[in-house]
A and B are shown apart, each in its own frame.
Chain A
Amino acid sequence: MTSERIEALKKRREKERNQMTNRNQNLYAWLLLAAVILLSTALLVNQSPYMWVFPIGIMLGFTLERSRFCFAAAVRNPLIVGTTKLLQAVILALMVSTLGFFILQIVTVDINNFQISEIPGSLRPVGWNTVIGGILFGTGMVIAGGCASGTLMRIGEGFTLQIVVLGAFVGGSVLSGVFHYPFWHDLLIEGRTVIYLPQLIGFFPALILQLSVLGILFAAARKLGKMR
């Protein structure tokens, strides 16, 4: 909320500041938009395997930037300053996606007789590797000022620092994913399996349980956000 004194200050600073170079960036925006549309059309016409990932990726990046959405901030802000609007939004997104993924999963497989490998989605083994990886990732995300998608978005906005982050990210991936992978695989990952909730408790109970847990978390985040 603004105040009279802030309005006065705004007027004064507007006057004081040097004539801002008022060239807008519309020309570049139109050029890039044209290139994106052309490329998307070409991919579609040629039935390229990338005909969907390209336009959807563009929309994902656009949405992230347009709304200043940041997964790192969603985790970090509640911890350092107690603001939770982003966290609430992330939980809301998880609820919407849960519903969408659920519908897709039950129409894709026979719910009485299915293999884990047939289920559409991101299903991966769980074990101590998840815990260690998650802790390392969470620590790094706060220190680097952004997660993987955030880093890509910031490079698009022109942040030189995030190019360094991306380089280090690639380096870290190679270190654990290539050079140290045999070690971690033998120690923690070998023999771990996917734990798919509907397989344990049934499809509809899993949906209800997950939506309830997310709902409770949403309410808790909301309450935390209102406390001073």
Chain B
Amino acid sequence: MKEEFLDCLYEPCPIPLLKALKKLNKMKAGDLLIMKTDHNCSITNVIEWVDKQGHKMDYIEVGKGEWEIYIEKVVSDG
């Protein structure tokens, strides 16, 4: 049950999504990933992808135009 942190401030689309994808691949089920981004597009992109993969996630705004995205890795039975 590790917690990983990914700083994606000032990264353009779709780098945050690709970094998250890479990181999640190395994580174990139940691990949490905290991502920081200031790119609103990335949030929608990450949400869509994470939903598709079946992981759990949510996000909060931590400053003006800055967000933290939290992802819990879920490994599906399939």
By a beta-carbon cutoff of 8 Å, the part of chain A in contact with chain B is 1-3, 5-7, 9-10, 13-14, 17, 20-21, 23, 25, 68, 70, 72-73, 76-77, 80-83, 85, 145-146, 157-159, 161, 225, 228
Q: Which residues in A have their C-beta under 8 angstroms from that of B32?
A: 5-6, 9
A6-B72, A145-B13, A146-B13 known; A83+B60 contact, CB < 8 A: no
Beyond A68-B41, A82-B52, A228-B52, whether A5 also contacts B72 by CB under 8 A is: yes
Q: Judge whether B75 is part of the interface by a CB distance below 8 angstroms.
A: no
29 A-B pairs, CB-CB below 8 angstroms?
A1-B56, A2-B56, A2-B58, A3-B56, A6-B56, A6-B71, A7-B58, A9-B70, A14-B60, A20-B62, A25-B64, A68-B41, A73-B14, A73-B45, A77-B14, A80-B14, A81-B17, A81-B18, A81-B45, A83-B45, A83-B48, A145-B12, A145-B13, A146-B12, A157-B40, A158-B65, A159-B12, A161-B10, A228-B52
Asked if residues B12 and A80 are in contact (CB atoms below 8 Å), the reply is no
- Are B34 and A77 in contact, with the CB atoms below 8 A? no
Q: Name B52's contact: one of A7, A13, A159, A225 (CB within 8 Å).
A: A225
**Total contacts A to B, CB within 8 angstroms?**
83
A14 contacts across to B, CB distance below 8 A? 60
- B78 → chain A, closest Cβ, in Å? 8
Contact B51 A1 (CB under 8 A): yes
| A21 close to B64 (CB less than 8 A) | yes
Report A-chain residues with C-beta under 8 Å of the C-beta of B51. Answer: 1
Chain B, 35-74, CB within 8 A of any chain A CB: 40-41, 43-45, 48-49, 51-53, 56-58, 60, 62-65, 68, 70-72
Binding site for A on B (CB under 8 A): 10, 12-15, 17-18, 21, 32, 34, 40-41, 43-45, 48-49, 51-53, 56-58, 60, 62-65, 68, 70-72
User: How far is the CB of B42 from the nearest CB of chain A, in Å?
Assistant: 9
Across the two chains, which residue of chain B brings its CB closest to A3?
Answer: B56
Q: How far is the CA of A184 from the CA of B15 in the complex (A)?
A: 35
Contacts of A225 in B (CB 8 A): 52
Residue on A with the closest CB to B74?
A3
B49 to chain A, nearest CB (A): 5
Q: How far is the CA of A85 from the CA of B57 in the complex (A)?
A: 18
Q: Which residue of chain B is the closest to A23 with respect to CB atoms? A: B64
**Do A80 and B48 touch across chains, with their CB atoms under 8 A apart?**
no
Q: A13-B34, A73-B41 are in contact. List 14 more A-B contacts (CB 8 A).
A: A6-B56, A9-B70, A13-B60, A13-B70, A20-B63, A68-B40, A73-B14, A73-B45, A81-B21, A81-B49, A85-B48, A145-B13, A145-B14, A157-B40
